[in-house]
Amino acid sequence: MQRIVFTSLFILLSLPLFSQQGKVLFTFGNTKVYDHDFKESCNQVIKKEDNWDFSRLVNDYADYKLEIYDAKQQKIDTTNQYKQRINHYKNKLILAHVLNNKETQKYFKESLSRNQYQYKVSYIKISISANSKTDTTVAYKKAMTIRHRLLNGYSFTTLARQLSDDENASFNGGNLGWVIPLDFNVGYSAENYIINHYNDKEISMPIKSGDYYYIIKTDGKRKAIETITISTILKYKKFKRSFYNDSIKKLFDEINKKLKNNADFQSLQEKYSEFPHHELTLDLQKAYEKFSTKISEISSIGKYSPIIETDNFFCIVRLDNQTEKTFDNEYNESLTQKFFSSEVFKQCYKAFADSIKEISGYKKISSYHELYKLFPDSAIYLGKWQPEGYLGFYTSELFEFDNVTYTVGDFAQYVYQTQSQCPYNKIENYLKEKYNDFVSSLVDQKMFELLKVNKQYALKLETFSDNVLYDLMEQKNGFYKNALDTQKVYNFYKNSGQEYKTSHILKISFYDYFFDKNSKKAMKNINSAIVSNKEISQNENLKLVKQGVFKYGDYELSDRIISKFDNKEYNIQNNKVINFPSEHIIAITDIQQLPQEETKEKIFTKFSPLYLKSQKENYLQNLRQKYRLEISEQAAVTLGSMF
C-alpha cells in the first residue's frame, strides 16, 4: 500500500482550506476538516488507479494539520525568521504578477524570441555620475565626442580602451563577443538597436540605461551557440621577467606568420605549446572568460584567433567545433530568470509600481529638509540615528498614501529602523534615498494587498505560510539536532532494550562428498562420516575443499551458517556438523568468537533514524491528545469513494 509522506507532499502541493459543507474527516480543537479540504490538497497527486492506504493517509493528513495549528498557537508566525521568509515569498509573488501583466508579457515573449540568436556586440560605456555628480549632460557630451571621433575613423577598440568606464575595456577593447541580448542587459532601447542594426555596422547614438550612456556597434547575427571545442597553442608568462615575456611575444608573432602561410596548426602546437594535443570543450561565455572575447573573431570552424595576451599567458586558439543551444523548457526557464534581473523587467516593474502609487493617491505634501539639520553627516557612517527624542517636534505632514498621512516623524522612525552605511557624503542625499525606499515599502505593501484579492495568489501564500510553519516547528523541537547527537542516540538504543551485536566468527572446515565418481558409495558412508567426524578427514569419500576462520561476508556458505548462529537457530557448540545436500558439502564448525556489542559509530548509524522517528511520533501523540484529535470512523471510506 502506498503512503504519502506529508513532510514533502504538503510542502509542495497542499492548498489552504476554503471550507464548504461536506463530510467531516476529523476534528481537533475547534476545527473541523472536511472531505473537500483533503481533495483540494491532494487531488494533484492521487489518481484513481493508485492503491492508496486511505486509513494511513487520513492519519498523516491530520498530523500535518495539527502541526500547523500548534505552530500558530505557539505564535511562530510572529517570529522574525517566519516574517523574513514570508516577505521574500511575497516579493516573488509580486514579481510573478508583474511578469504576468499584459504589457510585461509582450516584452517577455519578444525577449524569448530575440534570445534565440547571438549578436556580435562592442560598446563604450560612459558613467553619468563619474563625470558629474549633478549634471547628466557632461556624460552625454563626452559620449557624443567619442561617437564623432569614431565616425571620423578612429579605432573602436582603441577608444574603448582609452575612454570607456567599463573596467574590462582595457582588456577586451569593448568587445563582448557573441552575446544574447539578455546577457548584454542594457535595456529595451539598446536591445532594439542591436537587433535592428546587426548588418550595417553603424555606430549608435548614446543610449541611456541606468547610470550610463552606451555607444554600441553590432557586427553580425547568428543562431545562439552554447559550447565550443577549441585547440590552443599556449605559453605562460614569467612573473617580473619582461625580457622572457618579450621573447614569447616574438615567438607568437612568428607562429602567427607561419599559420598565415598555411602551416599545420597541430604540428606547431606539438612543437611550441605548454599543452601539446590540448583540446577543450567549454561553454561559450566561459571560453571568453578564460581566453578573451578575441575568440569571437574566428570566422569559422578550422580557423584560428589573433594572438591573445592575458595577464598570465600568450595563446592562439583554433575553433574545432561548436554546438547550437537547445531551446527546451530548461533554457526558457533560465531566460525567465535572466529576464527578472534585466533592465527591461526593471522598467516594467517601475511602471507597475508607479501605477500602484497612482491608484493609492500618493501625494507629496511637504519637504523633509528639517531633518537635514538634525544629524551630522558622520551619522550615516557611524549608524547613530536616534530620532526618538525629536519625533514630537516633527509632526508636520510629509505625504499621503492610500488615505493615510505620514509625518516627518514617521519617516525619521523608518530611517532609524533601516539605517545603514552608504556612499553619500551628505546626509541630505542619504535621506533622499531613504525617502524613496520608504515610499517603495508602502508600494510593496499595497501591491500585496491587491494580490490577496486574487484567489490564486492568496492560495499560494497561505500554502507557503503553512509550509514555513511546518519547517520551523521541526527545527524548534530540535528533533534533527538530537538525532545527530551520538550520546543521545546511544542512550535511546540502550533504553530501547534492543541488542545490536557483531556476528559470530567461526572456524569452519568444508568437505565435498561428491568429489569422485563413486557417488553412491559416498552417500552410503556419509552418515557414518558425520557421526565419527574426528576421522572425517581420513574418509576416502570426503575431500577438504575450504578451511579457515570466517567472518560474515567472507563466503556464501559460511554466511548462511553464521546467520543461523546469529539468529539462535543453531545451538552454541563446537564440532557442530552441518549438511548442505544440494551443494554436496558438509561443514564442521567451531566457535572462534561470540558476538559483541557493536561500536558506538555503527549503533549511531542504525539507530539515529529510529530515534528521529521516535521523537516525531511522541511529539505527534502529544499533539493528538492536547488538541483532542478525533478521526471519523468513515474517513477512510469517504476518501476511497472520492478518488
CATH at residue 266 = 3.10.50.40
The DSSP-derived string for 370-417 is GGGGTS-TTHHHHT----GGGGGG--SEEEEETTEEEEHHHHHHHHHH
Judgement on whether residues 229 and 199 belong to the same structural domain of the protein: no
In a domain, 481, yes or no: no
Of the residues 453, 475, 493, the one at which a domain ends: 453
Judgement on whether residues 189 and 273 belong to the same structural domain of the protein: no
Q: Which residues contact 65 (CB under 8 A, 6 or more apart)?
A: 28, 31, 33
Note whether 237 and 248 are within 8 A (CB): yes
Place of cell 553619500: 424
Judgement on whether residues 271 and 211 belong to the same structural domain of the protein: no
What's 500's DSSP letter? Answer: -
Place of cell 523633509: 368
Is 554 buried (19+), middle (13-18) or exposed (0-12) by CB count in 10 A?
Answer: middle
Task: Provide φ and ψ at 209, rounded to 5°.
Answer: -150, 120
In angstroms, the CA 599 to CA 501 distance is 9
Task: Provide φ and ψ at 458, rounded to 5°.
Answer: -60, -40
What is the CA 561 to chain-centroid distance, rounded?
50
In a domain, 637, yes or no: no
Note whether 609 and 554 are within 8 A (CB): no
Judgement on whether residues 248 and 286 belong to the same structural domain of the protein: yes
**Number of domains present in the structure of the chain:** 4
Q: Which residues contact 164 (CB under 8 A, 6 or more apart)?
A: 123, 124, 125, 126, 174
In angstroms, the CA 218 to CA 196 distance is 9
pLDDT of res. 188: 83
Judgement on whether residues 206 and 255 belong to the same structural domain of the protein: no
pLDDT of res. 416: 78
Measure the CA angle with vertex 33, ends 31 and 38; round to 5°: 150
pLDDT of res. 396: 84
Is the torsion defined by CA of 604, 609, 610, 611 positive or negative? positive
Rounded to a whole number of angstroms, the distance between the first and last alpha carbons of the chain is 15
Is 513 buried (19+), middle (13-18) or exposed (0-12) by CB count in 10 A?
Answer: buried
User: Per residue in 156-178, is it b (16+ CB within 10 Å) or e — as a string?
Assistant: beebbbebbbbeebeebbbbbbb
Joined grid coordinates for residue 357: 502609487
In a domain, 554, yes or no: yes
- Torsion, CA 218, CA 163, CA 147, CA 171, rounded to 10: -20
Joined grid coordinates for residue 155: 579605432
In angstroms, the CA 53 to CA 60 distance is 11
pLDDT of res. 157: 93
Place of cell 551458517: 561
In a domain, 494, yes or no: no
In a domain, 373, yes or no: yes
Residue range(s) defining the domain that contains residue 552: 505-593
In a domain, 41, yes or no: no
Is 106 buried (19+), middle (13-18) or exposed (0-12) by CB count in 10 A?
Answer: exposed
pLDDT of res. 45: 61
Joined grid coordinates for residue 506: 567461526
Of the residues 269, 299, 324, the one at which a domain ends: 324
pLDDT of res. 471: 85
pLDDT of res. 473: 80
Residue type, 291: F
Note whether 104 and 201 are within 8 A (CB): no
Joined grid coordinates for residue 418: 533601516
Judgement on whether residues 164 and 196 belong to the same structural domain of the protein: yes
In a domain, 425, yes or no: yes
Judgement on whether residues 245 and 201 belong to the same structural domain of the protein: no
Place of cell 500535518: 64
Note whether 639 and 57 are within 8 A (CB): yes
Residue 566's CB: how many other CB atoms inside 10 A? 15
Judgement on whether residues 123 and 161 belong to the same structural domain of the protein: yes
The model carries a pTM of: 0.60
Judgement on whether residues 207 and 299 belong to the same structural domain of the protein: no
Note whether 215 and 206 are within 8 A (CB): yes
pLDDT of res. 110: 86
In angstroms, the CA 188 to CA 554 distance is 70
Note whether 219 and 256 are within 8 A (CB): no
Task: Provide φ and ψ at 32, rounded to 5°.
Answer: -115, 135
In a domain, 551, yes or no: yes
User: Per residue in 51-89, is it b (16+ CB within 10 Å) or e — as a string?
Assistant: ebebeebbbbbbbbbbbbbbbeeeebbebeebeebbeeb
pLDDT (tens digit per residue) in 227-239? 999 999 999 988 7
Of the residues 435, 453, 471, the one at which a domain ends: 453
CA nearest neighbour of 335 among 107, 120, 118, 115: 115
Judgement on whether residues 166 and 182 belong to the same structural domain of the protein: yes
Judgement on whether residues 209 and 156 belong to the same structural domain of the protein: yes
Judgement on whether residues 307 and 295 belong to the same structural domain of the protein: yes
User: Per residue in 331-362, is it b (16+ CB within 10 Å) or e — as a string?
Assistant: beeebeebbbebbbbebbbeebbeebbeebeb
The DSSP-derived string for 254-307 is HHHHHHHTT--HHHHHHHH-SSTT-EEEEEHHHHHHHH-GGGGG--STT-B---
Query: Which of the residues in the chain have pLDDT under 50?
Result: 1-19
